[in-house]
């Protein structure tokens, strides 16, 4: 599918990942345009329902950019996010939607350059999976 | 005499009693039972017949008891609370007595989770303590739990189990005291491997005068192999197999492990016989009934005394 | 509280396989507290069902609603309007299984399905972990056991002490289950009341339990 442009929703924490994204921009690495970024106070505030609704709306992938383990400003926000991701992935599996469409990445301010690797990895993963069946049926 | 069973007479006469155990088959073939039971003839005073042990469906204990009676052997009917409510329990007891069964062993029963039907609904209307009291009431007062007078009483010699190795350890002698108060005449213990711990339990029981109020038969099971010893050590809750026996079994060639296991068992019986408060042994040679003659012979338990 | 958990999604999907439009009703009582059937769980389930059905190209319409309680007729009455104004194929309840029965009892023209498995009466040991504490035997006896219930919490409901399988504080049934008899022993010892455990606890009268048939409580002072 050559002209498949994955629609990705990216929830990112206002702390480390935000700084990371800024520093990445400073070094001319920008976020691909098909990523919709949503800045949140802490990944601990990402709710299962947010992730579900994004998928329901036809996103091809839904990801969370969290601070590294031990770096969360609210101590365990990133751990909570990880557990919710696991919950949603299990739910996806149960209803027959690829669980790989949902995931979490850890990222901090000093890692500007690796942002490219992360977005690259997400893009590759989702391109491989193809468009979300929900997005398709909407178009149809 | 409470029931006049052979077991009761042996114990009353002050002989060191020997009871054996027979697990009913997972099928309806009476020949299997007869073959197993023949190994025990004249080697033990009476034979426990397990009641769907480990919650695995097997031939009914009462039917097997009847087959033993027909063979001229004396059975101990094991009865668990897991599968029957008080209606079935009392009804079974009446039937058992009518069939000539005189010894009953009252047990709570292994949990159904362990068996071949873990999906079943369990009962536990009574617990083992309450079952003992029920049998005693039927025997001594001639009444059912409903206060209904029995037409034709039941004279059972009442037994129960005790596990000196269960936790909390300090409560184990209290449990024994309660069983005696509930009306137990004899106790068969869980298989003993940790002799030290058993001795501690027994000393406490002696101190409290409990061994004078009921007969204690010490449970022994010969270890067939290192594998079996390890299994019992690791996976049977409330069983305590000290490492020293495993080391001993490991010390001989695989082929000779069984013989070593029997040797250990014989030594244990000899030690137990010396202990004050032990009135006999309960030899549980599970699926090893044919070794009972050899073990009882080596432990100088033969010939079994005559009583009438 | 009553503790429940959601049925597997596949089971629920099979229930609604033939439906196009349903009403999913949560409850703000116990099942909200145990995170099984409150507003949020209703949202998650609705979303999951919609995703699954959309994916199959057979979308389902789901209206969401959460009642104050589903075990009181006055709240069940609140379903009257939505049921009248919509052509629902069925109502799915996310309350404990009292809820769907109250809905079925009140509305005789609509199919009702449970989406939770109602498990036990218990409480939270920690966040996300619940355990059973009472079996509703109808004649509470826990004061004889240091305030701990041997009926609900002993795997064999033993009333006279631990069975032979109690090991290291754990029940023979599973290392995940505390042997309540070990706990009772420790507590009675702490309270200096071990003597009480020496007494034989008599046979229990189960007629106050489910064994006496479905139960009902009538309070004349409150009845209108
Ligand atoms: S004794 Fe009965 S009422 Fe009391 S906690 Fe146990 S099951 Fe519940
Ligand atoms: S181990 Fe404890 S909780 Fe489990 S059945 Fe035995 S007494 Fe009851």
Cα–Cα distance measured from residue A55 to residue B146, given in angstroms and rounded to the nearest whole number: 65
Best residue among C132, C155, C169, C185 to mutate for probing ligand 2's pocket (most ligand atoms within 8 Å of CB) is C155
Provide the domain count of chain B: 1
C133 touches B at CB < 8 Å = no
Per-residue pLDDT at A139 exceeds 50: no
Tokens at C118, concatenated:
């109602």
Q: Would you state the pLDDT for residue C176?
A: 94
Per-residue pLDDT at A115 exceeds 60: yes
> Which residues 3-62 on chain B approach chain C with CB closer than 8 angstroms?
none
Task: Give, using CA atoms, the residue closest to atom 1 of ligand 1.
Answer: C140
Cα–Cα distance measured from residue B36 to residue B75, given in angstroms and rounded to the nearest whole number: 13
Q: What residues of chain A lie within 8 A of the CB of C52, using their CB?
A: 95-97
**Which pairs with CB-CB distance under 8 Å and at least 24 residues apart come from C137-143?**
C137/C204, C137/C206, C137/C208, C137/C209, C138/C208, C138/C209, C138/C212, C138/C215, C139/C204, C139/C205, C139/C208, C139/C209, C141/C201, C141/C204
Look at residue B304 and tell me if it is in a domain: no
Residues near B222 by beta carbon (within 8 Å), at least 6 away in sequence: B261, B262, B264, B265, B285, B288, B291, B295
Question: Taking the CB of residue B37, how many other CB atoms lie within 10 A of it?
Answer: 20
Residue for token digits 């003839």? B41
List where CATH 3.40.50.2300 sits in chain C. Answer: 2-119
State yes or no: cis peptide before B196, omega within 30 of 0. Answer: no
Between A55-64, A109-118, B214-223, C139-148, the lowest mean confidence (pLDDT) is in: A109-118
Residues near A128 by beta carbon (within 8 Å), at least 6 away in sequence: none
Question: Inter-chain contact C174–B113, Cβ cutoff 8 Å?
Answer: yes
DSSP state of C173: T
Q: What confidence tens digit (pLDDT) does each residue in C53-89 have?
A: 999 999 999 999 999 999 999 999 999 999 999 999 9
Which CATH number is B68's domain given? 3.20.20.220
Report the DSSP pairing between strands C170-171 and C174-178.
antiparallel
Look at residue A137 and tell me if it is in a domain: no
Is the Cβ–Cβ distance between A25 and C23 less than 8 Å? no
| C70 CB near ligand 2 (under 6 Å) | no
Question: How sure is the predictor about A26, in pLDDT bands with cuts at 50, 70 and 90?
Answer: low
Domain that holds residue A52: 8-128
Q: What residues of chain C lie within 8 A of the CB of B130, using their CB?
A: 159-160, 200-203
Give pTM, 2 decimals.
0.89
Q: How far is CA C191 from CA C144, C180, C186, C187, C198, in A?
A: 12, 16, 9, 6, 15
Is the Cβ–Cβ distance between B4 and B305 less than 8 Å? no
Question: Inter-chain contact C55–A97, Cβ cutoff 8 Å?
Answer: yes
Question: How sure is the predictor about C91, in pLDDT bands with cuts at 50, 70 and 90?
Answer: very high
Look at residue B303 and tell me if it is in a domain: no
Cα–Cα distance measured from residue B264 to residue B248, given in angstroms and rounded to the nearest whole number: 9
Q: Which CATH superfamily is domain C2-119 in?
A: Response regulator (3.40.50.2300)
Question: How sure is the predictor about A110, in pLDDT bands with cuts at 50, 70 and 90?
Answer: low
In degrees rounded to 5, what are phi and psi of residue C58?
-135, 65
Cα–Cα distance measured from residue B162 to residue C161, given in angstroms and rounded to the nearest whole number: 12
Element at A20 (helix H, strand E): helix A16-26
Q: What confidence tens digit (pLDDT) does each residue in A12-22 have?
A: 888 777 777 77
Closest CA to B124 of A61, C203, C193: C203
Write down the H helix ranges in C6-79: 9-15, 30-33, 39-55, 73-76
Which CATH number is A44's domain given? 3.40.50
> Which residues 11-30 on chain C approach chain A with CB closer than 8 angstroms?
13
Q: Do chains C and B touch (3 or more CB pairs under 8 A)?
A: yes
Q: Would you state the pLDDT for residue A34?
A: 85
Residue for token digits 């601070």? A67
Q: Would you state the pLDDT for residue A19?
A: 72
pLDDT above 90 as % of chain C? 98
The predicted model gives A110-124 an average pLDDT of 79
> Helices B257-274 and B243-250: crossing angle, nearest 10°?
140
| C159 CB near ligand 1 (under 6 Å) | no
The predicted model gives A113-119 an average pLDDT of 79
Cα–Cα distance measured from residue A59 to residue B196, given in angstroms and rounded to the nearest whole number: 69
Cα–Cα distance measured from residue B96 to residue A14, given in angstroms and rounded to the nearest whole number: 78
Domain that holds residue B37: 6-298
State the count of interchain CB pairs (< 8 A) between A and C. 50
A112 or B144: which carries more pLDDT confidence?
A: B144
Tokens at B30, concatenated:
């009476």
Cα–Cα distance measured from residue B126 to residue B81, given in angstroms and rounded to the nearest whole number: 6
Q: What confidence tens digit (pLDDT) does each residue in A40-86 have?
A: 888 888 899 999 999 999 999 999 988 887 778 888 888 899 999 99
Q: Could you report the predicted ipTM of this complex, rounded to two decimals?
A: 0.93
Coarse DSSP helix, strand, coil percentages of chain C, rounded to the nearest 5 percent: 35, 25, 40
Question: How sure is the predictor about A28, in pLDDT bands with cuts at 50, 70 and 90?
Answer: low
CA angle A38, A40, A42 (to 5 degrees): 145
Cα–Cα distance measured from residue B57 to residue B54, given in angstroms and rounded to the nearest whole number: 9
> Each residue's pLDDT tens digit in chain B (308 positions)?
999 999 999 999 999 999 999 999 999 999 999 999 999 999 999 999 999 999 999 999 999 999 999 999 999 999 999 999 999 999 999 999 999 999 999 999 999 999 999 999 999 999 999 999 999 999 999 999 999 999 988 999 999 999 999 999 999 999 999 999 999 999 999 999 999 999 999 999 999 999 999 999 999 999 999 999 999 888 887 788 999 999 999 999 989 999 999 999 999 999 999 999 999 999 999 889 999 999 999 999 999 999 98
Question: Inter-chain contact C185–B128, Cβ cutoff 8 Å?
Answer: no
Provide the domain count of chain A: 1
For residue A27, the CA-to-ligand 2 centroid distance in Å is: 65
Per-residue pLDDT at A140 exceeds 50: no
């Amino acid at each position: 599918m050559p002209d498949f442009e994955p629609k990705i929703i990216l929830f990112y924490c206002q702390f480390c990942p935000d700084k990371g994204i800024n520093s990445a921009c400073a070094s001319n690495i920008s976020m691909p345009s098909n990523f919709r970024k949503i800045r949140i106070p802490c990944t601990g505030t990402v709710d299962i329902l947010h992730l579900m609704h994004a998928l329901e709306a036809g996103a091809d992938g839904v990801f969370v950019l969290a601070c590294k383990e031990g770096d969360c400003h609210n101590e365990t926000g990133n751990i909570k996010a990880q557990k919710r991701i696991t919950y949603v992935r299990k739910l996806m599996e149960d209803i027959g939607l690829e669980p790989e469409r949902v995931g979490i990445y850890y990222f901090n301010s000093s890692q500007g350059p690796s942002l490219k690797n992360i977005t690259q990895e997400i893009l590759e993963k989702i391109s491989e999976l193809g468009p979300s069946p929900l997005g398709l049926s909407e178009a149809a | 005499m409470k029931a006049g069973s052979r077991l009761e007479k042996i114990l009353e006469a002050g002989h060191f009693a020997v009871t054996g155990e027979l697990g009913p088959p997972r099928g309806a073939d009476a020949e299997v039972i007869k073959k197993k039971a023949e190994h025990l003839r004249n080697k033990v005073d009476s034979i426990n017949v397990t009641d769907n042990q480990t919650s695995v469906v097997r031939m009914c204990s009462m039917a097997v008891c009847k087959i033993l009676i027909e063979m001229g052997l004396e059975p101990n009917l094991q009865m668990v609370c897991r599968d029957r409510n008080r209606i079935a329990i009392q009804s079974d007891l009446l039937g058992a007595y009518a069939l000539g069964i005189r010894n009953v062993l009252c047990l709570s029963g292994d949990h159904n989770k362990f068996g071949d039907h873990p999906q079943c609904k369990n009962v536990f209307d009574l617990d083992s303590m309450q079952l003992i009291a029920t049998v005693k009431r039927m025997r001594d007062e001639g009444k059912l739990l409903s206060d209904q007078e029995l037409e034709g009483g039941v004279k059972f010699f009442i037994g129960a189990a005790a596990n000196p190795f269960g936790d909390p350890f300090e409560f184990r002698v209290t449990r024994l005291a309660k069983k005696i108060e509930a009306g137990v005449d004899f106790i068969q213990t869980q298989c003993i491997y940790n002799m030290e711990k058993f001795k501690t339990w027994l000393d406490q029981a002696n101190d409290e005068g409990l061994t004078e109020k009921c007969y204690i038969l010490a449970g022994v099971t010969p270890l067939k192999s290192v594998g079996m010893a390890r299994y019992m050590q690791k996976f049977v809750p409330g069983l305590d197999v000290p490492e020293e026996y495993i080391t001993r079994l490991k010390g001989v060639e695989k082929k000779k492990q069984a013989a070593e296991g029997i040797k250990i068992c014989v030594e244990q019986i000899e030690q137990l016989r010396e202990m004050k408060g032990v009135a006999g042994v309960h030899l549980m040679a599970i699926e090893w009934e044919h070794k009972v003659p050899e073990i009882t012979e080596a432990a100088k338990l033969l010939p079994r005394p005559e009583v009438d | 509280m009553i503790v429940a958990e959601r049925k597997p999604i596949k089971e629920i999907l099979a229930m609604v396989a033939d439906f196009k439009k349903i009403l999913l009703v949560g409850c703000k009582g116990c099942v909200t507290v145990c995170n099984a059937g409150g507003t949020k769980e209703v949202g998650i389930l609705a979303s999951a069902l919609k995703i699954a059905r959309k994916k199959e190209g057979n979308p389902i319409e789901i209206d969401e609603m959460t009642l104050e309680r589903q075990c009181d007729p006055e709240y069940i009455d609140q379903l009257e309007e939505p049921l009248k104004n919509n052509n629902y194929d069925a109502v799915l309840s996310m309350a404990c299984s009292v809820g769907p029965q109250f809905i079925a009892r009140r509305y005789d023209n609509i199919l009702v399905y449970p989406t939770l498995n109602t498990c036990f009466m218990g409480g939270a040991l920690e966040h996300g972990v619940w355990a059973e504490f009472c079996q509703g035997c109808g004649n509470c006896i826990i004061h004889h056991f240091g305030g701990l219930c041997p009926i609900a919490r002993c795997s064999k409901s033993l009333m006279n002490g631990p069975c032979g399988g109690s090991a290291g504080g754990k029940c023979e049934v599973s290392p995940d289950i505390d042997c309540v008899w070990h706990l009772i022993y420790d507590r009675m010892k702490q309270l200096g009341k071990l003597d009480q455990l020496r007494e034989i606890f008599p046979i229990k009268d189960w007629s106050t339990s489910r064994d006496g048939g479905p139960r009902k409580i009538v309070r004349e002072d409150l009845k209108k």
